[in-house]
Amino acid sequence: MSGNVTFTMIKPYAVKKNFVGPILKIINEKGYRIKAMKMTRFTRERAEAFYDVHAGKPFFNELVDFMSSGPIVAAILEKENAIADFRELIGNTNPEKAAEGTIRKLYASSLTANAIHGSDSDENALREGSFFFSEMEQY
Ligand code: CMP
């Protein structure tokens, strides 16, 4: 995939606050093509599996509770250098440290409710996208 395809989720509190439209507008204006998208919801078990790399960390339960607390919007995005560019566009994991103009600076509420996720590698984009899209392999 060579860094050109990434996976994103707009997280529950941002969906609840009705930020899906403004966030998608930014993504669109930055030149990402939406290859697949759905509004869906994590069960607790699926959230635990998705975030298993964080199992045992102090924030794991809060993360799983939060991510299974309401609907999310999951999507596969394509653009040249999508993985790195998208991480820059969403900003620091902690919104207090996120740069001006980034999606997390604009729409995140806290470290846990940080509005949006972006994959950090080809391997994780494939793994994470495959949780929601059976056709992920074709990208
Ligand atoms: P994200 O990178 O999308 O996926 C893992 C999430 O865990 C991350 O966003 C944060 O919301 C959360 N997270 C990471 N580190 C911490 C931390 N030190 N304390 C609380 N939550 C964290």
139 lies in some domain: no
Q: Determine, yes or no, domain membership for 22.
A: yes
- What's the gap in Å between 54 CA and the centre of ligand 1? 9
Closest atom of ligand 1 relative to the 111 alpha carbon: 11
> CATH number of the domain that 22 lies in?
3.30.70.141
- Residue 127 inside a domain? The answer is yes
Determine the structural domain holding residue 44 and report its residue range.
5-134
Instruction: Give pLDDT tens digits for 126-139.
Output: 999 999 998 766 66
pLDDT tens digit sequence for 56-83: 999 999 999 999 999 999 999 999 999 9
> For ligand 1, is residue 109 a contact (CB within 6 Å)?
no
Domain-embedded: residue 88: yes
Strand arrangement, sheet containing 116-118: 33-40, 72-78, 5-10, 116-118
The answer to whether residue 60 sits within a structural domain is yes
Closest CA to 112 of 12, 4, 2: 12
**Residue 68 within any structural domain of the chain:** yes
Once rounded to an integer, what is the mean pLDDT over residues 5-17?
Answer: 98
Count of structural domains within the chain? 1
**Is 54 among the residues known to form the active site?**
no
What pLDDT was estimated at residue 14?
A: 98
**pTM over 0.85, yes/no:** yes
Q: Is the CB of 117 under 6 A from ligand 1?
A: yes
In a domain, 120, yes or no: yes
Q: Please check whether residue 72 lies inside any domain of the structure.
A: yes
Q: Which residues contact 105 (CB under 8 A, 6 or more apart)?
A: 91, 95, 98, 99
Q: What is the pLDDT of residues 99-121, one digit of tens each?
A: 999 999 999 999 999 999 999 99
